[in-house]
Chains A and B, each alone.
Chain A
Amino acid sequence: MATVRGCNIPEDRYYWVEKHAWALPMDDGAVKIGITDVAQNLAKGIVNATPKDAGRTVQKGKSAGTLESGKWVGPVTSPVTGEIVEVNEAMKAKPSLINTDPYGEGWFVKVKPTDWAGESASLLTGEAAVAAYQKFMEEQNISFE
């Protein structure tokens, strides 16, 4: 896993860097989404997470739910369009999982995408994602080292 300016950026995810969102296609065709290590570091200790309910539709670039940290409230931007098929109940019950494991136990929702092939083309993955995140963090003067 790559580390950029103190943040983990696993190469297997698909990123929307400016929105600090990641997506990971699953074997069943659904896509897990969540916020990046950079985002959780910026937001700090998450005290509440309210994903939209399963069955709701989300649009790429729109909110899939809300997070509240001790200092900030904001949306989790969905990197894909589709129907929410599962909400991470463990994360909802313990929102700090987003801080401790943003790519693992802290995933946000699973979405059944309407056009993963099309939409994923505008997301970045692998080395390209790591390089883009590095550039973005430098430009924004973000570092957690």
Chain B
Amino acid sequence: MSKKIRLLYMEGVSPLRSQTVYHAVGYAMKEGTPNTIIMVSPNGPYVSIGYHQDIQKEVDLDYCERHNLPVYRREVGGGAVFLDNGQLFTQWIFHKEDLPATLEERFKLYIDPLVATYQELGIPANHRPINDVHVNGKKIGGTGAAQMGIAEILVGSLMYTFDKKTMSQVLKVPSEKMRDKIFESLEAYMTTMSEQLGSTPDRAMVKDLYMKKVSEALGMEVYEGEWTAEEEAMAKEIDARFTSDEWLYQKGQLHQQGVKIHQDVHIVEAAFKAQGGLIRIIARLREGRIDDVTISGDFTLLPVFALGALEQSLRGVAATPENLKSKIEEAYYRLNIQSPGVTPTDFTTAIMNAVTPPQAA
């Protein structure tokens, strides 16, 4: 194959540029522009929000301001994420005709070299379709796709480290309990090279390894290139847009229930007013089952240890009303639970409100 891929290696650019570079190469792409891969890392921390998110609903802006964390809206979908120098973003800006048409195949092509890089480092990574990379059920970086101008874009990262604590702090969540659950779930279901290997691998080595794996996967030569004056000009234009209030505060409509940790793991929450008091639920769902649930509220439930036992009994239960109700009723019988004005059906409804929120008409 005669086509070559240009690599732009940009370690330590500003947080803003670490986002605007791939938009700039995308929007500046012309027919003769080479397919380009950018490997870029920011020199400081920031928050990136999805294209259609509403920043005021999704991000704890007070926290970000107190900690000098800038927030940038990207033109790629998905949710808010905390980013810093611990990730090396791998951004592909390709001509449409040089990528498969279907997203499944496109993500496979993109993810294969990431997986191969991790594997050569001794990390047993695998592609969890459609677009996750997992290591023994834990996610190691997310990916996304977009079209900008004539360019098709794929973005993702090689994760040296990930600051899970700060990630849980930057999200706007309904309660601190929910925040704790997010942190706990990130600890349980996200991993990094540093965690897997016990130390952070040499960055230059990882870069060379990834280039080699890309070249092997695509059957094309990858050469280190420069970016053009036109791309720089486009980046300046996009820098200005990304830092404007008009862009940042545009009202997005995308608000998804709960927080996605990875393809198979979500944290959801809901409240339900039963006759005997309010029931609050924070649940972690894994592949349609209750992985973990916290039940709280202002109802009375006796004996005192029964609430914890009830939570325990729901672990691993398929999140359907029938299964939940039957498990809860069993716990009521086994533990002789008394809960004036609150029934097993109420708990079931509260949990199901979290699992599948009642739809507005």
Contacts and interface: CB of A to CB of B under 8 A. Distances in A.
Interface of A: 42-44, 47-48, 50, 66, 68-75, 92, 140-142
By Cβ-Cβ distance, the 6 closest A-B pairs, closest first, are A74-B147, A48-B52, A140-B101, A73-B146, A68-B77, A73-B77
A6 to B, nearest CB: 12
Interface of B: 50-52, 75-77, 100-103, 107, 130-131, 144-147, 252-254, 256
B240 to A, nearest CB: 19
A71 B102 contact: no
Nearest to A68: B77
A66 B51 contact: yes
A73 B253 contact: no
Given A47-B254, A48-B254, A66-B51, A71 B147 contact: no
Contact of B77 (A42, A72, A75, A142): A72
B77 A69 contact: yes
Given A73-B76, A75-B147, A68 B52 contact: yes
Contact of A72 (B100, B145, B253): B145
A142 B77 CA distance: 23
A68 B144 contact: no
Given A47-B256, A48-B252, A75-B147, A42 B76 contact: no
B52 A142 contact: no
Nearest to A140: B101
B76 to A, nearest CB: 6
A69 to B, nearest CB: 7
Q: Which of A48, A66, A73, A142 has the most CB of B within 10 A?
A: A73
30 contacts: A42-B102, A44-B103, A47-B52, A48-B77, A48-B252, A50-B253, A66-B51, A66-B52, A68-B50, A68-B52, A68-B77, A68-B254, A71-B77, A71-B103, A71-B130, A71-B131, A71-B144, A71-B145, A72-B77, A72-B103, A72-B144, A72-B147, A73-B51, A73-B52, A73-B76, A73-B77, A73-B145, A74-B146, A92-B253, A141-B101
Given A47-B256, A48-B253, A68-B254, A142 B103 contact: no
Contacts of A141: 100-102
A98 to B, nearest CB: 14
Nearest to B149: A75
A16 to B, nearest CB: 14
Contact of B103 (A42, A47, A75): A42
Contacts of A69: 77
A22 B341 CA distance: 57
A74 B51 CA distance: 10
Nearest to B52: A48
Contacts of B147: 72-75
Contacts of A42: 101-103
Contacts of B253: 48, 50, 92
Contacts of A68: 50-52, 77, 254
B268 to A, nearest CB: 17
Contacts of B107: 71
Contacts of A50: 52, 253
Given A48-B51, A50-B253, A141-B100, 9 more contacts: A42-B102, A47-B77, A66-B51, A71-B77, A71-B107, A71-B131, A71-B144, A72-B146, A73-B76
A68 B254 CA distance: 9
Contacts of B256: 47
Nearest to A44: B103
Contacts of A66: 51-52
